[in-house]
Amino acid sequence: MGYEFKNINVFLFVSIAVIVALVLLFIMKNGKPINGHMKIFILAGQSNMKGTANGDLLPNDYKILNENIFLFQNDKWNNLAPQKTIRDFLRCRNSTFGPEISFGYEAGRAMPEHKIGLMKFAASATSMYSWIPEWDRKKANLEDDKKHGSLYKELLAAIHKATDDRDVEFLGVLWMQGESDSKDRVSANEYEKNLESFIKKLRQDLNAPQLPFMIGLVNNNAEYVEIIRQAQKNIAKILPFITIVPTDGLTRIEGGVHYDANGQIELGKRFLNAYLKM
Residue 75 one-letter amino acid: D
Are residues 175 and 104 part of one domain?
Answer: yes
Q: Are 122 and 47 in contact (CB under 8 A)?
A: yes
Are 52 and 190 contained in the same domain?
yes
Same domain, 19 and 112: no
Query: Are residues 52 and 1 both part of a single domain?
Result: no
Are residues 60 and 11 part of one domain?
A: no
Q: Are residues 45 and 110 in the same domain?
A: yes
**Statement to judge: residues 25 and 47 lie in one domain:** no
Question: In the predicted model, what is the mean pLDDT of the chain?
Answer: 87
Domain coverage including residue 203: 34-276
Spatial separation of the C-alpha atoms in residues 203 and 61, rounded to whole Å: 34
User: 42 with 57, same domain?
Assistant: yes
* Share of residues in the chain with pLDDT > 70 (%): 82
pLDDT (tens digit per residue) in 214-269: 999 999 999 999 999 999 999 999 999 999 999 999 999 987 899 999 999 999 99
**Looking at the structure, do residues 21 and 126 belong to the same domain, yes or no?**
no
The whole-number average pLDDT for the span 175-186 is 95
How many domains does the chain divide into?
2
Q: How confident is the model over 112-161, as pLDDT tens digits?
A: 999 999 999 999 999 999 999 998 777 777 665 556 779 999 999 999 99
| 144 and 251, same domain (yes or no) | yes
* Range with the poorest average pLDDT among 29-33, 100-104, 195-199: 29-33
| Residue 74: pLDDT band with limits 50, 70, 90 | confident
